[in-house]
């Protein structure tokens, strides 16, 4: 397939682009490098530098594209609370331009990165797709708005679309992984301690209603996540918008993640306990039953040690290119 990938210089976009290329697809990336890295654009992908809203129509009109995989977004929860305008414009505004470009060029196959944050604080776990959506921050709200926009575009313009609601994506594949200037994700933050780029890791809350008192999250290996995108692209049907949760279906506490990182890296990784953060749910675990049944998706790398080991191999390979090395 000839595919447009937005945000292909970011973490998920770079790995997915590498997986698409490895499966024989033709990949054109649009990225403005607001977050992504130039060295994360996989060899073999064509690069168009710029904003999705400015470049989508130009790229999609330049040839016949079979589909679009839309990763480009801003995704820092705290920043979205402080600067909602930036998030609504960048996430929703740019997505509407992309959807218009798809409509205008007759491009009818879309896979979109949605998020567990659309559910907010769930009433129960595991979270299924029919549970209420009630995002607790503007980031999650922009993603939910995009899901709504995609539904109506799919129906009116015959686009076949899938929103994949990722839980905590982690690990690395094919020489690509997490290397952000501003890092907020637990595993890369812990690994920065092991690299000596950060003194300790903060544990926010030790009194959650969980087995060891720390928050529990569902970690999905980036390669399993990427495979789901391929399955979605291959099975979208015109006019239909499907929504699937993607997680490994298992929860690991913050303490368990830190212990696994200690084991994998051999570093003591000092941890400091801090108060709970507002808006953090105690437990977030996905039910990926629907993706398994309807996409035929099977996560293969559900072992936390494998996820951390792959992330650690990648993090070490960065050397001086690690953004955390320059703080
Ligand atoms: N990483 C996770 O655990 C996770 C979980 C749930 C959902 N998601 C979603 O998956 C997607 C990818 O996440 P990620 O972790 O790879 O993020 P990332 O920040 O690493 O990558 C996003 C990429 O999009 C680019 N970008 C942003 N706005 C753009 C614009 N207007 N025009 C062009 N390029 C633009 C950035 O430069 C960056 O390269 C995001 O939409 C995110 O919301 C990620």
Residue identifier of the C-alpha nearest atom 34 of ligand 1: 31
Quote the CA–CA distance of 146 and 162 in Å, as a whole number.
Answer: 12
Q: Give Dmax (Cα) for the chain.
A: 56
- The Å distance, Cα 71 to ligand 1 centre, comes to 5
Give, for ligand 1, the residue of 75, 147, 181, 182 to mutate: max count of ligand atoms closer than 8 Å to Cβ: 75
**Which DSSP symbol is given to 176?**
B
Report pLDDT for 76.
95
- The Å distance, Cα 92 to ligand 1 centre, comes to 13
In the block, tokens 């953090």 appear at: 280
Quote the CA–CA distance of 93 and 110 in Å, as a whole number.
Answer: 17
For every residue of 109-123, DSSP letters joined together read EEEEEEEGGGS-S-S
Report pLDDT for 325.
86
Task: Please answer whether residues 222 and 40 qualify as being in contact, where contact means their C-beta atoms are separated by less than 8 angstroms.
Answer: no
| Number of the ligand 1 atom closest to the C-alpha atom of 7 | 24
Residue identifier of the C-alpha nearest atom 13 of ligand 1: 12
Query: 60 is written with which tokens?
Result: 């999609």
**Which DSSP symbol is given to 319?**
G
Report pLDDT for 95.
98
CA 143 to chain centre: 12
b/e 310-322 (16+ beta carbons within 10 angstroms → b): bbbebbeebeeeb
Quote the CA–CA distance of 189 and 184 in Å, as a whole number.
Answer: 7
Report pLDDT for 279.
78
b/e 118-139 (16+ beta carbons within 10 angstroms → b): bbbebeebbbebebebebbbbb
Residue identifier of the C-alpha nearest atom 1 of ligand 1: 169
Phi, psi of 161 (to 5 degrees): -135, 150
Report pLDDT for 278.
79
Instruction: Quote the strand ranges of the chain, DSSP E.
Output: 2-6, 26-31, 46-49, 67-70, 109-115, 160-166, 168-170, 201-204, 216-217, 219-221, 241-246, 252-253, 271-274, 283-284
| Number of the ligand 1 atom closest to the C-alpha atom of 33 | 37
- The Å distance, Cα 212 to ligand 1 centre, comes to 32
The CB of 112 under 6 Å from ligand 1? The reply is: no
Identify the active-site residue in 139, 153, 166, 219. Answer: 139
Report pLDDT for 123.
86
Quote the CA–CA distance of 262 and 252 in Å, as a whole number.
Answer: 15
Q: Which residues contact 123 (CB under 8 A, 6 or more apart)?
A: 131, 132
- The Å distance, Cα 10 to ligand 1 centre, comes to 6
Neighbour tally for 241: CB within 10 Å: 21
Q: How far is CA 144 from CA 32, 63, 140, 147, 151, in A?
A: 23, 31, 6, 5, 11
Residue identifier of the C-alpha nearest atom 35 of ligand 1: 72
The model carries a pTM of 0.97
| Number of the ligand 1 atom closest to the C-alpha atom of 166 | 6
The CB of 168 under 6 Å from ligand 1? The reply is: yes
Quote the CA–CA distance of 148 and 127 in Å, as a whole number.
Answer: 19
Q: What string of pLDDT tens digits covers the 327 residues of the chain?
A: 999 999 999 999 999 999 999 999 999 999 999 999 999 999 999 999 999 999 999 999 999 999 999 999 999 999 999 999 999 999 999 999 999 999 999 999 999 999 999 999 888 899 999 999 999 999 999 999 999 999 999 999 999 999 999 999 999 999 999 999 999 999 999 999 999 999 999 999 999 999 999 999 999 999 999 999 999 999 999 999 999 999 998 999 999 999 999 999 999 999 999 999 877 889 999 999 999 999 999 999 999 999 999 999 999 999 889 998 876
Report pLDDT for 280.
85
Quote the CA–CA distance of 200 and 226 in Å, as a whole number.
Answer: 31
153 assigned to active site = no
């Amino acid at each position: 397939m000839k595919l447009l990938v937005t945000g292909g210089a970011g973490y998920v976009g770079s790995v997915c682009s590498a997986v698409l290329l490895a499966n024989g697809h033709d990949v054109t990336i649009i990225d403005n490098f607001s977050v992504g890295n130039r060295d994360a654009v996989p060899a073999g992908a064509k690069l168009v530098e710029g904003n999705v809203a400015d470049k989508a129509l130009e790229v999609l009109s330049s040839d016949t594209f079979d589909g679009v995989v839309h990763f480009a977004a801003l995704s820092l929860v705290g920043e979205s609370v402080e600067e909602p305008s930036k998030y609504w414009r960048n996430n929703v505004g740019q997505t509407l331009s992309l959807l218009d470009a798809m409509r205008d060029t007759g491009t009818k196959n879309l896979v979109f990165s949605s998020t567990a944050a659309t559910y907010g604080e769930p009433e129960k776990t595991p979270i299924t797709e029919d549970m209420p959506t009630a995002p607790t921050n503007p980031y999650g709200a922009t993603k939910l708005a995009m899901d709504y926009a995609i539904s109506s575009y799919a129906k009116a313009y015959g686009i076949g679309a899938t929103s994949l609601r990722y839980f905590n994506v982690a690990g690395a594949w094919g020489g690509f992984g997490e290397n952000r200037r501003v890092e907020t994700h637990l595993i890369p933050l812990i690994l920065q301690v092991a690299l000596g780029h950060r003194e300790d890791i903060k544990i926010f809350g030790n009194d959650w209603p969980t087995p060891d008192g720390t928050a529990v999250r569902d970690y999905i290996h980036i390669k399993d996540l990427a495979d789901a995108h391929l399955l979605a692209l291959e099975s979208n049907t015109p006019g239909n918008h499907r929504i699937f949760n993607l997680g490994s279906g298992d929860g690991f506490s913050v303490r368990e993640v830190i212990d696994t990182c200690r084991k994998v890296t051999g570093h003591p990784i000092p941890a400091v306990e801090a108060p709970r953060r507002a808006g953090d749910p105690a437990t977030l675990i996905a039910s990926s039953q629907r993706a398994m049944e309807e996409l035929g998706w099977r996560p293969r790398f559900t072992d936390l040690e494998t996820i951390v080991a792959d992330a650690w191999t990648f993090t070490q390979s960065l050397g001086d290119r690690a953004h955390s090395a320059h703080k």
